[in-house]
Amino acid sequence: MTTVLTKSFPQEKRPSTRAAQGKKRVLIVGGGFAGIAAARALKRADVDITLIDRRNHHIFQPLLYQVATAVLAPSEIAAPIRQLEAKQKNLSVLLAEVKGIDLAARTIEAICPEIGSRKLAYDFLVIATGMHPSYFGHDEFAQFAPGLKSLNDAETIRTKILSAFELAESTDDERERARQMTFVLVGAGPTGVELAASIAQLVSVTLRNNFRKIDPAKSRIVLLDGGTRVLPSFAESLSRKAATRLTKLGVEVATGVKVEKVDDQGVIAAGVRIPSATVLWTAGVSASPIVKMLGTRTDRAGRAFVGAFMDIPEAPNVFVAGDAATMTQDGHPVPGVAQAAIQQGRFVGQVIAGRARSRKDGRPFRYRNKGNMAVVGKNFAILEAGHLRSSGFVTWWVWAALHVLALPQLQNRFRVQTQWFWSYLSGQRSSRLISEGPRPPAS
Protein backbone atom coordinates (compact mmCIF):
# COMPACT_ATOMS: atom_id res chain seq x y z
CA MET A 1 0.00 0.00 0.00
CA THR A 2 1.27 3.42 -0.86
CA THR A 3 1.98 5.79 2.01
CA VAL A 4 2.23 8.96 -0.04
CA LEU A 5 -0.78 10.47 1.71
CA THR A 6 -0.02 9.58 5.31
CA LYS A 7 1.22 13.08 6.13
CA SER A 8 -2.19 14.43 5.14
CA PHE A 9 -3.87 13.05 8.24
CA PRO A 10 -1.65 13.07 11.36
CA GLN A 11 -3.01 11.49 14.52
CA GLU A 12 -4.37 14.63 16.02
CA LYS A 13 -6.56 15.27 12.97
CA ARG A 14 -9.71 13.16 13.09
CA PRO A 15 -11.99 14.42 10.35
CA SER A 16 -14.74 11.88 10.91
CA THR A 17 -15.03 12.48 14.64
CA ARG A 18 -14.86 16.27 14.69
CA ALA A 19 -18.20 16.91 13.05
CA ALA A 20 -19.69 20.31 13.69
CA GLN A 21 -22.35 20.31 16.37
CA GLY A 22 -25.62 19.01 14.97
CA LYS A 23 -24.08 17.58 11.80
CA LYS A 24 -24.40 13.88 11.10
CA ARG A 25 -21.25 11.90 10.43
CA VAL A 26 -21.18 9.77 7.27
CA LEU A 27 -18.47 7.18 6.69
CA ILE A 28 -18.12 5.76 3.17
CA VAL A 29 -15.83 2.76 2.84
CA GLY A 30 -14.66 2.29 -0.74
CA GLY A 31 -13.65 4.74 -3.44
CA GLY A 32 -15.10 2.86 -6.40
CA PHE A 33 -18.10 3.78 -8.52
CA ALA A 34 -20.66 3.34 -5.73
CA GLY A 35 -18.65 5.07 -3.01
CA ILE A 36 -17.84 8.13 -5.08
CA ALA A 37 -21.41 8.37 -6.37
CA ALA A 38 -22.69 8.33 -2.77
CA ALA A 39 -20.23 11.04 -1.73
CA ARG A 40 -21.17 13.29 -4.63
CA ALA A 41 -24.88 12.84 -3.94
CA LEU A 42 -24.23 14.28 -0.46
CA LYS A 43 -22.43 17.38 -1.74
CA ARG A 44 -25.15 19.78 -0.64
CA ALA A 45 -26.24 17.85 2.44
CA ASP A 46 -25.57 19.24 5.93
CA VAL A 47 -23.34 16.32 6.92
CA ASP A 48 -19.64 15.61 7.43
CA ILE A 49 -18.37 12.85 5.14
CA THR A 50 -15.23 10.76 5.41
CA LEU A 51 -14.38 8.60 2.40
CA ILE A 52 -12.05 5.74 3.35
CA ASP A 53 -10.07 3.60 0.93
CA ARG A 54 -6.86 1.61 1.18
CA ARG A 55 -5.81 3.00 -2.21
CA ASN A 56 -5.40 6.66 -3.03
CA HIS A 57 -7.01 6.32 -6.46
CA HIS A 58 -10.26 5.49 -8.18
CA ILE A 59 -10.02 3.04 -11.11
CA PHE A 60 -12.17 3.08 -14.22
CA GLN A 61 -12.46 -0.70 -14.20
CA PRO A 62 -14.10 -1.22 -17.62
CA LEU A 63 -10.75 -0.32 -19.22
CA LEU A 64 -8.52 -2.20 -16.79
CA TYR A 65 -7.98 -4.96 -19.34
CA GLN A 66 -6.35 -2.38 -21.66
CA VAL A 67 -3.74 -1.64 -19.01
CA ALA A 68 -3.13 -5.39 -18.70
CA THR A 69 -2.51 -5.63 -22.45
CA ALA A 70 -0.34 -2.50 -22.77
CA VAL A 71 -2.87 -0.37 -24.67
CA LEU A 72 -3.12 2.21 -21.88
CA ALA A 73 -0.93 3.27 -18.97
CA PRO A 74 -2.30 2.96 -15.40
CA SER A 75 -2.53 6.73 -14.94
CA GLU A 76 -4.81 7.01 -17.97
CA ILE A 77 -7.68 5.14 -16.31
CA ALA A 78 -7.18 6.24 -12.70
CA ALA A 79 -7.76 9.42 -10.73
CA PRO A 80 -6.69 10.42 -7.20
CA ILE A 81 -9.58 10.20 -4.74
CA ARG A 82 -8.19 13.07 -2.71
CA GLN A 83 -9.01 15.58 -5.44
CA LEU A 84 -12.64 15.31 -4.28
CA GLU A 85 -11.72 17.36 -1.21
CA ALA A 86 -11.02 20.40 -3.38
CA LYS A 87 -14.46 20.17 -5.00
CA GLN A 88 -16.55 19.14 -2.00
CA LYS A 89 -16.15 21.06 1.25
CA ASN A 90 -18.07 18.60 3.45
CA LEU A 91 -15.85 15.67 2.48
CA SER A 92 -12.53 14.38 3.84
CA VAL A 93 -10.49 11.52 2.42
CA LEU A 94 -8.69 9.00 4.60
CA LEU A 95 -6.11 6.52 3.32
CA ALA A 96 -6.73 3.51 5.53
CA GLU A 97 -7.96 -0.07 5.62
CA VAL A 98 -11.00 -1.09 7.67
CA LYS A 99 -10.31 -3.94 10.08
CA GLY A 100 -13.46 -3.98 12.21
CA ILE A 101 -17.04 -2.70 12.47
CA ASP A 102 -19.01 -2.35 15.71
CA LEU A 103 -22.66 -1.84 14.79
CA ALA A 104 -23.76 -1.43 18.41
CA ALA A 105 -21.24 1.33 19.16
CA ARG A 106 -21.49 2.80 15.65
CA THR A 107 -17.75 2.79 15.13
CA ILE A 108 -15.28 1.28 12.75
CA GLU A 109 -11.61 0.44 13.28
CA ALA A 110 -9.33 1.68 10.52
CA ILE A 111 -5.61 1.03 10.11
CA CYS A 112 -3.71 3.99 8.69
CA PRO A 113 -0.30 3.20 7.14
CA GLU A 114 2.60 4.02 9.48
CA ILE A 115 0.17 5.52 12.00
CA GLY A 116 -1.79 2.56 13.30
CA SER A 117 -5.32 1.87 14.45
CA ARG A 118 -8.02 4.53 14.80
CA LYS A 119 -11.65 4.28 15.83
CA LEU A 120 -14.04 6.38 13.80
CA ALA A 121 -17.62 7.10 14.84
CA TYR A 122 -20.51 7.39 12.42
CA ASP A 123 -24.21 8.14 12.19
CA PHE A 124 -24.47 6.66 8.69
CA LEU A 125 -22.19 4.01 7.24
CA VAL A 126 -21.88 3.07 3.56
CA ILE A 127 -20.00 -0.08 2.56
CA ALA A 128 -19.01 0.06 -1.11
CA THR A 129 -15.92 -2.11 -1.20
CA GLY A 130 -16.47 -3.98 -4.47
CA MET A 131 -15.35 -7.48 -5.34
CA HIS A 132 -12.27 -9.69 -5.35
CA PRO A 133 -11.43 -12.67 -7.58
CA SER A 134 -12.96 -15.93 -6.37
CA TYR A 135 -11.23 -19.24 -7.06
CA PHE A 136 -14.23 -21.32 -5.97
CA GLY A 137 -12.49 -22.85 -2.98
CA HIS A 138 -9.14 -23.31 -4.73
CA ASP A 139 -7.23 -20.33 -3.39
CA GLU A 140 -3.99 -22.14 -4.24
CA PHE A 141 -4.66 -21.21 -7.89
CA ALA A 142 -4.16 -17.51 -7.11
CA GLN A 143 -0.34 -17.61 -7.15
CA PHE A 144 -0.36 -19.03 -10.67
CA ALA A 145 -3.43 -17.32 -12.15
CA PRO A 146 -3.79 -13.64 -11.23
CA GLY A 147 -7.18 -11.96 -11.41
CA LEU A 148 -7.88 -8.48 -12.75
CA LYS A 149 -9.35 -6.10 -10.16
CA SER A 150 -6.66 -3.50 -9.48
CA LEU A 151 -3.87 -1.57 -11.19
CA ASN A 152 -1.35 -3.89 -9.53
CA ASP A 153 -3.18 -6.86 -11.05
CA ALA A 154 -3.13 -5.22 -14.48
CA GLU A 155 0.60 -4.47 -14.27
CA THR A 156 1.29 -8.03 -13.07
CA ILE A 157 -0.60 -9.46 -16.05
CA ARG A 158 1.11 -7.08 -18.49
CA THR A 159 4.49 -8.16 -17.15
CA LYS A 160 3.57 -11.87 -17.44
CA ILE A 161 2.40 -11.47 -21.04
CA LEU A 162 5.36 -9.45 -22.26
CA SER A 163 7.89 -11.53 -20.30
CA ALA A 164 6.53 -14.69 -21.91
CA PHE A 165 7.64 -13.50 -25.34
CA GLU A 166 11.05 -12.47 -24.06
CA LEU A 167 11.55 -15.92 -22.54
CA ALA A 168 10.26 -17.61 -25.69
CA GLU A 169 12.81 -15.64 -27.72
CA SER A 170 15.62 -16.61 -25.35
CA THR A 171 15.07 -20.35 -25.05
CA ASP A 172 16.17 -23.02 -27.51
CA ASP A 173 13.77 -25.59 -26.06
CA GLU A 174 10.82 -25.87 -28.48
CA ARG A 175 8.47 -27.26 -25.83
CA GLU A 176 9.26 -24.44 -23.44
CA ARG A 177 8.90 -21.93 -26.26
CA ALA A 178 5.43 -23.28 -27.03
CA ARG A 179 4.50 -23.15 -23.32
CA GLN A 180 5.62 -19.54 -23.06
CA MET A 181 3.55 -18.62 -26.12
CA THR A 182 0.36 -20.26 -24.81
CA PHE A 183 -2.07 -18.03 -22.90
CA VAL A 184 -5.00 -19.52 -21.00
CA LEU A 185 -7.88 -17.43 -19.69
CA VAL A 186 -10.33 -19.02 -17.27
CA GLY A 187 -13.77 -17.40 -17.48
CA ALA A 188 -15.61 -16.18 -20.60
CA GLY A 189 -17.50 -13.25 -19.13
CA PRO A 190 -16.89 -9.69 -20.39
CA THR A 191 -13.43 -9.45 -18.80
CA GLY A 192 -12.27 -12.76 -20.25
CA VAL A 193 -13.63 -12.04 -23.72
CA GLU A 194 -12.21 -8.50 -23.87
CA LEU A 195 -8.84 -9.60 -22.50
CA ALA A 196 -8.56 -12.56 -24.90
CA ALA A 197 -9.40 -10.39 -27.92
CA SER A 198 -6.90 -7.73 -26.87
CA ILE A 199 -4.12 -10.31 -26.45
CA ALA A 200 -4.98 -11.72 -29.89
CA GLN A 201 -4.47 -8.33 -31.50
CA LEU A 202 -1.33 -7.70 -29.47
CA VAL A 203 0.33 -10.83 -30.86
CA SER A 204 -0.90 -10.45 -34.44
CA VAL A 205 -0.36 -6.71 -34.93
CA THR A 206 1.64 -4.91 -32.24
CA LEU A 207 4.41 -7.47 -31.76
CA ARG A 208 4.75 -8.34 -35.45
CA ASN A 209 8.39 -8.19 -36.62
CA ASN A 210 9.59 -7.42 -33.07
CA PHE A 211 11.44 -10.73 -32.63
CA ARG A 212 14.00 -12.71 -34.64
CA LYS A 213 13.48 -16.26 -33.39
CA ILE A 214 9.73 -16.35 -32.75
CA ASP A 215 6.56 -15.27 -34.52
CA PRO A 216 4.16 -13.90 -31.87
CA ALA A 217 1.25 -14.42 -34.29
CA LYS A 218 1.70 -18.17 -33.77
CA SER A 219 0.80 -17.81 -30.09
CA ARG A 220 -2.01 -19.95 -28.75
CA ILE A 221 -4.79 -18.18 -26.84
CA VAL A 222 -7.31 -20.42 -25.07
CA LEU A 223 -10.50 -19.13 -23.42
CA LEU A 224 -12.11 -21.66 -21.05
CA ASP A 225 -15.49 -21.54 -19.34
CA GLY A 226 -17.60 -24.04 -17.46
CA GLY A 227 -20.82 -22.59 -18.89
CA THR A 228 -22.46 -23.36 -22.19
CA ARG A 229 -21.46 -20.14 -23.98
CA VAL A 230 -19.38 -17.00 -23.75
CA LEU A 231 -20.91 -13.81 -22.35
CA PRO A 232 -23.83 -15.58 -20.66
CA SER A 233 -25.30 -12.28 -19.43
CA PHE A 234 -25.99 -11.25 -23.04
CA ALA A 235 -28.60 -12.56 -25.46
CA GLU A 236 -27.65 -15.85 -27.09
CA SER A 237 -27.51 -14.27 -30.56
CA LEU A 238 -24.93 -11.72 -29.38
CA SER A 239 -23.01 -14.44 -27.55
CA ARG A 240 -22.70 -16.42 -30.80
CA LYS A 241 -21.46 -13.35 -32.68
CA ALA A 242 -18.85 -12.68 -30.00
CA ALA A 243 -17.66 -16.30 -30.14
CA THR A 244 -17.41 -16.12 -33.93
CA ARG A 245 -15.40 -12.93 -33.68
CA LEU A 246 -13.03 -14.47 -31.15
CA THR A 247 -12.45 -17.43 -33.44
CA LYS A 248 -11.61 -15.07 -36.33
CA LEU A 249 -9.06 -13.38 -34.09
CA GLY A 250 -7.41 -16.74 -33.41
CA VAL A 251 -8.77 -17.41 -29.92
CA GLU A 252 -9.67 -21.01 -29.09
CA VAL A 253 -13.00 -20.95 -27.24
CA ALA A 254 -13.83 -24.01 -25.12
CA THR A 255 -17.10 -23.92 -23.17
CA GLY A 256 -18.53 -26.58 -20.88
CA VAL A 257 -15.01 -27.14 -19.57
CA LYS A 258 -14.12 -27.00 -15.90
CA VAL A 259 -10.61 -26.22 -14.73
CA GLU A 260 -9.43 -28.84 -12.26
CA LYS A 261 -5.92 -27.62 -11.51
CA VAL A 262 -3.69 -24.61 -12.05
CA ASP A 263 0.03 -24.81 -11.37
CA ASP A 264 3.32 -23.38 -12.58
CA GLN A 265 3.15 -25.51 -15.71
CA GLY A 266 -0.32 -24.52 -16.86
CA VAL A 267 -3.81 -25.91 -16.31
CA ILE A 268 -5.65 -29.21 -16.31
CA ALA A 269 -9.13 -28.77 -17.77
CA ALA A 270 -11.55 -31.67 -18.39
CA GLY A 271 -8.67 -34.04 -17.68
CA VAL A 272 -6.40 -32.51 -20.33
CA ARG A 273 -3.17 -30.71 -19.53
CA ILE A 274 -2.64 -27.39 -21.33
CA PRO A 275 0.98 -26.29 -20.85
CA SER A 276 1.08 -22.53 -20.35
CA ALA A 277 3.31 -19.99 -18.65
CA THR A 278 0.52 -17.40 -18.48
CA VAL A 279 -2.80 -18.38 -16.91
CA LEU A 280 -5.23 -15.54 -16.19
CA TRP A 281 -8.27 -15.84 -13.93
CA THR A 282 -11.31 -14.03 -15.30
CA ALA A 283 -13.96 -16.25 -13.74
CA GLY A 284 -15.75 -15.81 -10.40
CA VAL A 285 -15.73 -12.96 -7.92
CA SER A 286 -16.48 -12.63 -4.22
CA ALA A 287 -17.28 -9.67 -2.02
CA SER A 288 -14.71 -7.91 0.13
CA PRO A 289 -14.21 -9.48 3.61
CA ILE A 290 -15.47 -6.20 5.10
CA VAL A 291 -19.05 -7.26 4.29
CA LYS A 292 -18.72 -10.19 6.72
CA MET A 293 -17.93 -7.74 9.52
CA LEU A 294 -21.52 -6.51 9.33
CA GLY A 295 -22.84 -9.87 10.51
CA THR A 296 -25.69 -9.71 8.02
CA ARG A 297 -26.97 -12.39 5.66
CA THR A 298 -24.91 -12.88 2.50
CA ASP A 299 -25.13 -14.89 -0.70
CA ARG A 300 -22.61 -17.49 -1.87
CA ALA A 301 -20.33 -14.78 -3.23
CA GLY A 302 -20.30 -12.99 0.15
CA ARG A 303 -22.49 -10.08 -0.99
CA ALA A 304 -24.88 -8.62 1.57
CA PHE A 305 -28.62 -8.96 1.09
CA VAL A 306 -29.99 -5.43 1.29
CA GLY A 307 -33.47 -4.01 1.64
CA ALA A 308 -35.43 -1.73 -0.65
CA PHE A 309 -33.37 1.27 0.52
CA MET A 310 -30.00 -0.51 0.24
CA ASP A 311 -29.72 -0.88 4.03
CA ILE A 312 -29.30 -4.01 6.14
CA PRO A 313 -31.85 -5.34 8.67
CA GLU A 314 -29.39 -5.28 11.57
CA ALA A 315 -28.82 -1.51 11.31
CA PRO A 316 -31.13 0.75 9.25
CA ASN A 317 -28.50 3.45 8.86
CA VAL A 318 -25.88 1.05 7.49
CA PHE A 319 -25.96 0.73 3.71
CA VAL A 320 -24.24 -1.61 1.25
CA ALA A 321 -23.97 -0.51 -2.37
CA GLY A 322 -22.36 -1.63 -5.60
CA ASP A 323 -20.82 -5.05 -6.10
CA ALA A 324 -20.80 -5.71 -2.35
CA ALA A 325 -24.63 -5.80 -2.31
CA THR A 326 -27.14 -8.23 -3.78
CA MET A 327 -30.80 -7.57 -4.45
CA THR A 328 -33.52 -8.87 -6.75
CA GLN A 329 -35.65 -6.80 -9.08
CA ASP A 330 -38.50 -8.22 -11.18
CA GLY A 331 -37.32 -11.73 -10.36
CA HIS A 332 -33.75 -11.10 -11.55
CA PRO A 333 -30.64 -10.05 -9.62
CA VAL A 334 -29.40 -6.52 -10.19
CA PRO A 335 -26.19 -7.01 -12.23
CA GLY A 336 -22.79 -6.21 -10.80
CA VAL A 337 -21.87 -3.59 -13.39
CA ALA A 338 -20.63 -0.01 -13.15
CA GLN A 339 -23.93 1.63 -14.01
CA ALA A 340 -25.74 -0.32 -11.28
CA ALA A 341 -23.07 0.66 -8.73
CA ILE A 342 -23.34 4.33 -9.68
CA GLN A 343 -27.14 4.29 -9.44
CA GLN A 344 -27.03 2.54 -6.05
CA GLY A 345 -24.39 4.88 -4.67
CA ARG A 346 -26.32 7.95 -5.80
CA PHE A 347 -29.53 6.53 -4.31
CA VAL A 348 -27.87 5.82 -0.96
CA GLY A 349 -26.51 9.36 -0.84
CA GLN A 350 -29.98 10.76 -1.45
CA VAL A 351 -31.51 8.55 1.25
CA ILE A 352 -28.88 9.65 3.77
CA ALA A 353 -29.41 13.31 2.86
CA GLY A 354 -33.13 12.89 3.52
CA ARG A 355 -32.69 11.01 6.79
CA ALA A 356 -30.17 13.59 8.02
CA ARG A 357 -32.98 16.14 7.72
CA SER A 358 -35.45 13.77 9.42
CA ARG A 359 -37.39 13.29 6.22
CA LYS A 360 -39.26 10.11 5.37
CA ASP A 361 -37.74 7.83 2.77
CA GLY A 362 -39.10 8.23 -0.73
CA ARG A 363 -39.41 5.50 -3.31
CA PRO A 364 -37.35 2.30 -2.97
CA PHE A 365 -34.34 1.77 -5.18
CA ARG A 366 -35.03 0.66 -8.74
CA TYR A 367 -32.27 -0.15 -11.19
CA ARG A 368 -32.64 1.37 -14.65
CA ASN A 369 -30.74 -0.72 -17.16
CA LYS A 370 -29.27 1.57 -19.80
CA GLY A 371 -27.80 -1.34 -21.72
CA ASN A 372 -24.75 -3.62 -21.58
CA MET A 373 -21.78 -3.54 -23.92
CA ALA A 374 -18.69 -5.63 -24.54
CA VAL A 375 -15.89 -5.03 -27.02
CA VAL A 376 -14.32 -7.94 -28.90
CA GLY A 377 -11.16 -6.52 -30.40
CA LYS A 378 -10.76 -3.70 -32.89
CA ASN A 379 -13.85 -2.55 -34.79
CA PHE A 380 -16.29 -4.96 -33.11
CA ALA A 381 -18.51 -4.59 -30.06
CA ILE A 382 -21.93 -5.84 -28.97
CA LEU A 383 -24.75 -3.91 -27.35
CA GLU A 384 -27.90 -5.08 -25.60
CA ALA A 385 -30.37 -2.46 -24.35
CA GLY A 386 -33.89 -3.74 -23.77
CA HIS A 387 -35.07 -5.20 -27.07
CA LEU A 388 -32.24 -3.48 -28.96
CA ARG A 389 -29.37 -5.73 -29.95
CA SER A 390 -26.55 -4.61 -32.18
CA SER A 391 -23.00 -5.58 -33.04
CA GLY A 392 -20.20 -4.59 -35.34
CA PHE A 393 -18.24 -1.49 -36.31
CA VAL A 394 -20.81 1.21 -35.49
CA THR A 395 -21.47 -0.38 -32.10
CA TRP A 396 -17.72 -0.36 -31.48
CA TRP A 397 -17.58 3.41 -32.12
CA VAL A 398 -20.51 3.91 -29.72
CA TRP A 399 -18.65 1.84 -27.11
CA ALA A 400 -15.51 3.95 -27.57
CA ALA A 401 -17.36 7.27 -27.32
CA LEU A 402 -19.31 6.27 -24.21
CA HIS A 403 -16.20 5.01 -22.43
CA VAL A 404 -14.22 8.17 -23.17
CA LEU A 405 -17.04 10.33 -21.83
CA ALA A 406 -17.35 8.18 -18.69
CA LEU A 407 -13.70 8.54 -17.64
CA PRO A 408 -13.25 10.36 -14.30
CA GLN A 409 -11.21 13.40 -15.41
CA LEU A 410 -10.85 15.59 -18.48
CA GLN A 411 -7.17 14.74 -18.69
CA ASN A 412 -8.03 11.01 -18.67
CA ARG A 413 -10.41 11.55 -21.57
CA PHE A 414 -7.85 13.48 -23.58
CA ARG A 415 -5.07 10.96 -22.98
CA VAL A 416 -7.18 7.90 -23.71
CA GLN A 417 -8.69 9.44 -26.83
CA THR A 418 -5.23 10.39 -28.11
CA GLN A 419 -3.74 6.99 -27.31
CA TRP A 420 -6.62 5.11 -28.93
CA PHE A 421 -6.37 7.22 -32.08
CA TRP A 422 -2.63 6.61 -32.37
CA SER A 423 -3.00 2.90 -31.64
CA TYR A 424 -5.86 2.57 -34.11
CA LEU A 425 -3.77 4.03 -36.94
CA SER A 426 -0.41 2.45 -36.10
CA GLY A 427 -1.35 -0.78 -34.35
CA GLN A 428 1.23 0.03 -31.67
CA ARG A 429 0.78 0.19 -27.89
CA SER A 430 2.70 2.70 -25.83
CA SER A 431 2.78 0.96 -22.46
CA ARG A 432 4.79 -2.18 -23.25
CA LEU A 433 6.71 -2.08 -19.98
CA ILE A 434 7.92 -5.05 -17.99
CA SER A 435 8.01 -4.22 -14.28
CA GLU A 436 11.36 -4.89 -12.70
CA GLY A 437 11.54 -7.23 -9.76
CA PRO A 438 13.87 -6.72 -6.79
CA ARG A 439 17.51 -7.09 -7.72
CA PRO A 440 19.61 -9.59 -5.75
CA PRO A 441 22.15 -8.01 -3.39
CA ALA A 442 25.64 -7.63 -4.77
CA SER A 443 27.97 -10.38 -3.63
- Residue 67 in contact with residue 155, Cβ under 8 Å? yes
The number of angstroms, rounded, from the C-alpha of 192 to the middle of its chain's C-alpha atoms is 13
- Closest CA relative to residue 27, chosen from 93, 105, 88, 117: 93
Cα–Cα distance for residue pair 202/353, rounded to 1 Å: 48
Residue 273 CB neighbours (<10 A): 13
Alpha-carbon distances, residue 115 vs 18, 107, 112 (angstroms): 19, 18, 5
CA dihedral 216, 220, 223, 226 (to 10 degrees): -160
Query: Which residue is catalytic, options 76, 155, 194, 384?
Result: 194
Q: List 388's β-bridge partners, or say none.
A: 385
| Exposure class string for 350-384: b at 16+ Cβ within 10 A, else e | bbbbebbeeeeeeeebebebeebbbbbbbebbbbb
Nearest-5° Cα angle at 411, 408 to 412: 50
Alpha-carbon distances, residue 251 vs 9, 196, 197 (angstroms): 49, 7, 7
User: What SS3 class is residue 401?
Assistant: helix
Reduced to 3 DSSP states, what percent helix, strand and coil does the chain have, rounded to the nearest 5?
35, 25, 40
Give the H/E segment covering residue 179.
Answer: helix 174-180
- Residue 267 in contact with residue 282, Cβ under 8 Å? no
Pairing state between β 315-320 and 124-127: parallel
- Closest CA relative to residue 70, chosen from 183, 190, 186, 206: 206
Give the H/E segment covering residue 406.
Answer: helix 393-406
Q: Does the CA dihedral 44-47-48-51 come out positive or negative?
A: negative
Q: Is 194 a catalytic residue?
A: yes
- Residue 192 in contact with residue 251, Cβ under 8 Å? no
The catalytic residues are 194
